[in-house]
Structure 1
Amino acid sequence: MTDRHVIDTRTEYDSSLRAIAAGSGPVAVDTERASGYRYSQKAYLIQVFRRGAGVFLFDAPAIGCFDDLNELIGGEEWVLHAASQDLPCLREVGIDPRVLFDTELAARLLGMPKVGLGAVVEDSLGVHLAKEHSAADWSTRPLPQSWLEYAALDVELLIDVRDELEQRLVEQRKTRIAREEFEAELNAEPKPPRADPWRKLSGIHSSRGSRHLAVAKELWESRDALAQETDTAPGRLVPDRSLVAVVKATPRTKEALAGMREFSGRASRTELDRWWAAIERGLTTTDLPEARRSTGDHVPPPRAWADRAPEADARLKRAKPAVAEIADALGMPIENLLKPSILRGVAWNPPAPQTADQIGAALRDAGARPWQCEATAQSIARAFVEAAQSGAPEPESES
């Protein structure tokens, strides 16, 4: 097996650009990050493959900016697997595809039972692709040869996979569907920052009272600031379970905090002053968080609909099996036909009148693609009419 080489100088980078330009056809791209090890989600290795050119493994931090590569082949079709995971870190270094083929998304639209890269490669090409280094710390330098071989294979077979999936899309008459989905993925807006991100602290739901939540908030924010400062995954500094243990115990002195066996992690003692200051802020603040975050105008969970809005509950219960039947006929997961959140939103707040055209417009406004509206609007409108004609179900009485 030939040793894989990492390109980490501008001279080698410039030489690789000439080789890639001399290749032909689509460009396969993948990235390796250090999730679980680093705070950032930046790429540490970027792999590129093009027929007639070969595989190129770029040390992303060493090269820094890839504007030249993007300018050179930006108009070509870029082939990625699960592109939504890689596009943010690619754009961060100047790579911004204009034409996309996502092999994972294509596999979903084709109804393949497993859509991980290894499973799709095996299904498409009959080649077993080992995935033993997928969770490695790719910020490591130098990178071991076994890791580089793994990274190279991730792109070396991707164009062949793309060609096979494209043929299947043609056979199933789903090429237009796929193009709309790929385009939507390219143009998707970045997710807005999560409100109250500290509430995602694993296990915090078992805490009671606003004061405990205030302590949890201060500890989480303090850990997050240290994680950003050191570019370390927060859980590697102090695990969630340790922070939650502190919240539940609410130690009243720094010595009591230091004596907690459950308070573990590489920074639990070296940053003891930081954690104690966070606890003190939580114990003294007058700005206490709400026990439950307000949902505002968001659609409530469907389990509450029968009592709160029986008409909406009836619409959703009629529409869900109708949409599931269409997804089954098309041979794809229901969430790829229509996001459940979109269906819930239209059932909760339907247009008037509830015609297929109006339903289609409401679906489009909620983010559904044209093909999705065409495939589902008529059936959803019919389901809503049937729900109204049958009458909303009586709320179940409590025994």
Structure 2
Amino acid sequence: MFEIIPPPIWVNTKQSLQIMLEDIASQNRVGVDTESNSLHAYREQVCLLQFSTSKADYLVDPLALNDLSPLAPIFANKDIEKIFHAAEYDLICLRRDFGFNFATIFDTMHASRVLGYTAVGLDKLLGEKFNIPMDKKHQKANWGTRPLPKEQIQYAMLDTHYLFALRDVLEKELIEKNMHGFAMEDFKRACVEVHKTRSNGETWERFSGRKDLSLRQLTILSQLCKWREKEAERLNRPPYKVVMDDVFIALVKNLPEKKVDLSAAGLSEKQIRLWGDAILKAIRQGAESPLVERKQVPVKQDAVLRRLEKIKAWRKKIGLELKVESDIILPKSYLAVLSENPPKSLEELSVLMKDSPARFEKFGSQILKVLGVKHAN
């Protein structure tokens, strides 16, 4: 599928936005993608929105347009299918920055996962299906830069240009493999799921290496994190680009007394020169502050844990048989509710799984048997 693609239409005025909206409104589907600056700013924001219709490719500049609310009816329109690749994070960002609601999406990455593909990146799928090469080196570029380099503009356009063709190929395979219902109910659920967003800043409670630390060490870590947050915000960069998490863990495990001791934890000469005094001050404050408290994770009852393990083992087994990942068999969101409040009949299970009718129809009886319900058939 080689073709000469016209350059995308840059949308950075109310007039050009209106022209694009009129095009999209006349279509029954549109390809969508976003680019953000999470690797280059303290507070992530959407820096570019890409749209592709049957007529043209558009790049919308939210940094130039202070009102994107005219896009809201497009995203909420049930009669216009929005085609994404890896929709989950795009939806999170679009909800966070613009408050959009969604209806009728198709996610080509998720569709490929439902089909059991192991390589589900857009570059891999376009290469396999259409022999189209894609260079993903701009994926982590700074999308807040203006003007955008030509290479990034081309990359951004290609992220949506071929989504129609890919979507149609994958839908055909979903239907042939009787997995179309699974994908469609997942797409519908994605439109209403609201994920908790969190800032770029990582508090001590999210550190993977915190479990082996004492409360005093955690208190010092907390002070270090507070300092890093302020410095990252001042510099407008992600906190990890000030000091990495593992450096903080090393510092609290072997407390430095002087600036010369900081290099042993992995701090560079530049970091020590810029922030050595501030880091030592934060450590001293942590050593003198009231101890932080660990959040206590509620202990699940043994019966709940047994049911949870049975459900996990079952969905893993079925996933291996169907050559898909276990969450395709039963999404993670169902694990807790089924193990903590197990249904006693197919009727009760159908209520719990009202958003997954295809899975209920295929696996309902099996799930009840796994939960120990007699006469599950």
| TM bracket (short chain) | 0.7 to 0.9
Task: Give the secondary-structure state (helix, strand or coil) at the position aligned to 1:332.
Answer: coil
Aligned AA for 1:71?
P
Which is worse superposed, 135-144 or 224-233? 224-233
The one of 293, 296, 299 equivalent to 2:298 is 296
The one of 379, 391, 399 equivalent to 2:366 is 379
The one of 262, 265, 286 equivalent to 2:266 is 262
Task: Give the secondary-structure state (helix, strand or coil) at the position aligned to 1:101.
Answer: strand
Q: In the TM superposition, what are the counterparts of 1:261-280 in structure 2 within 5 Å?
A: 262-264=266-268, 268-280=272-284
List runs of 5+ in structure 1 lacking aligned partners.
Answer: 300-307, 388-399
List runs of 5+ in structure 2 lacking aligned partners.
Answer: none
Aligned AA for 1:374?
E
| Paired position in structure 1 for 2:89 | 85
**How far, CA to CA, are the matches of 1:326 and 1:101 in structure 2?**
25
**How far, CA to CA, are the matches of 2:206 and 2:106 in structure 1?**
33
Task: Give the secondary-structure state (helix, strand or coil) at the position aligned to 2:372.
Answer: helix
| Paired position in structure 2 for 1:71 | 73
**How far, CA to CA, are the matches of 2:269 and 2:364 in structure 1?**
52
| Paired position in structure 1 for 2:289 | 285
Q: Deviations over 1:190-217 (max 9, x none)?
A: 22769x94233354445x3211111111
The one of 34, 45, 51 equivalent to 2:54 is 51
Q: Judging changes above 3 Å, is the alpha-carbon distance between structure 1 residues 239 and 314 closer, same or farther for their aligned structure 2 residues? A: closer
- Does residue 1:199 correspond to 2:228, yes or no? no
Q: Judging changes above 3 Å, is the alpha-carbon distance between structure 1 residues 380 and 11 closer, same or farther for their aligned structure 2 residues? A: closer
**How far, CA to CA, are the matches of 2:100 and 2:269 in structure 1?**
37
Q: Judging changes above 3 Å, is the alpha-carbon distance between structure 1 residues 322 and 262 closer, same or farther for their aligned structure 2 residues? A: closer
Q: Judging changes above 3 Å, is the alpha-carbon distance between structure 1 residues 162 and 133 closer, same or farther for their aligned structure 2 residues? A: same
Which is worse superposed, 197-206 or 170-179? 197-206
The one of 213, 220, 243 equivalent to 1:238 is 243
**How far, CA to CA, are the matches of 1:152 and 1:80 in structure 2?**
13
Aligned AA for 1:80?
F
| Paired position in structure 2 for 1:302 | none
Q: Deviations over 1:114-133 (max 9, x none)?
A: 21111222333332322121
Shift of 1:373: 3.4
| Paired position in structure 1 for 2:330 | 338
Over the residues paired in the alignment, what is the CA RMSD in angstroms?
3.3
Aligned AA for 2:140?
A
| Paired position in structure 2 for 1:396 | none
| Paired position in structure 2 for 1:99 | 104
Aligned AA for 2:82?
W
Aligned AA for 2:364?
A
**How far, CA to CA, are the matches of 1:222 and 1:90 in structure 2?**
30
The one of 172, 180, 186 equivalent to 1:175 is 180
Shift of 1:315: 4.5
- Aligned-pair identity in percent equals 26
* 8 Å Cα contact 2:92-2:194 kept in structure 1: no
Q: TM-score, normalised by structure 1?
A: 0.79
Q: Deviations over 1:14-40 (max 9, x none)?
A: 443344445x33111111112322222
Aligned AA for 2:85?
H
| Paired position in structure 2 for 1:163 | 168
Shift of 1:143: 1.6
Q: Judging changes above 3 Å, is the alpha-carbon distance between structure 1 residues 244 and 269 closer, same or farther for their aligned structure 2 residues? A: farther
Q: Judging changes above 3 Å, is the alpha-carbon distance between structure 1 residues 265 and 113 closer, same or farther for their aligned structure 2 residues? A: farther
Shift of 1:375: 3.1
Q: Deviations over 1:158-206 (max 9, x none)?
A: 1111111222222233333322111110100222769x94233354445
Q: Deviations over 1:318-370 (max 9, x none)?
A: 544543444456553211221357436634x3537x44444555x54xx9733
Q: TM-score, normalised by structure 2?
A: 0.83
**How far, CA to CA, are the matches of 1:322 and 1:259 in structure 2?**
49
Shift of 1:97: 3.0
* 8 Å Cα contact 2:342-2:371 kept in structure 1: no
Q: Judging changes above 3 Å, is the alpha-carbon distance between structure 1 residues 192 and 372 closer, same or farther for their aligned structure 2 residues? A: farther
**How far, CA to CA, are the matches of 2:269 and 2:47 in structure 1?**
25
Q: Deviations over 1:45-86 (max 9, x none)?
A: 11111112x111122212232112333574111111111111
* 8 Å Cα contact 1:122-1:128 kept in structure 2: yes
- Does residue 1:42 correspond to 2:48, yes or no? no
- Does residue 1:29 correspond to 2:71, yes or no? no
* 8 Å Cα contact 1:107-1:115 kept in structure 2: yes
* 8 Å Cα contact 1:28-1:158 kept in structure 2: yes
Shift of 1:103: 1.0
**How far, CA to CA, are the matches of 1:56 and 1:326 in structure 2?**
42
Shift of 1:376: 3.0
Which is worse superposed, 182-191 or 3-12? 3-12
Task: Give the secondary-structure state (helix, strand or coil) at the position aligned to 1:78.
Answer: strand
- Does residue 1:370 correspond to 2:362, yes or no? no
Aligned AA for 1:146?
E
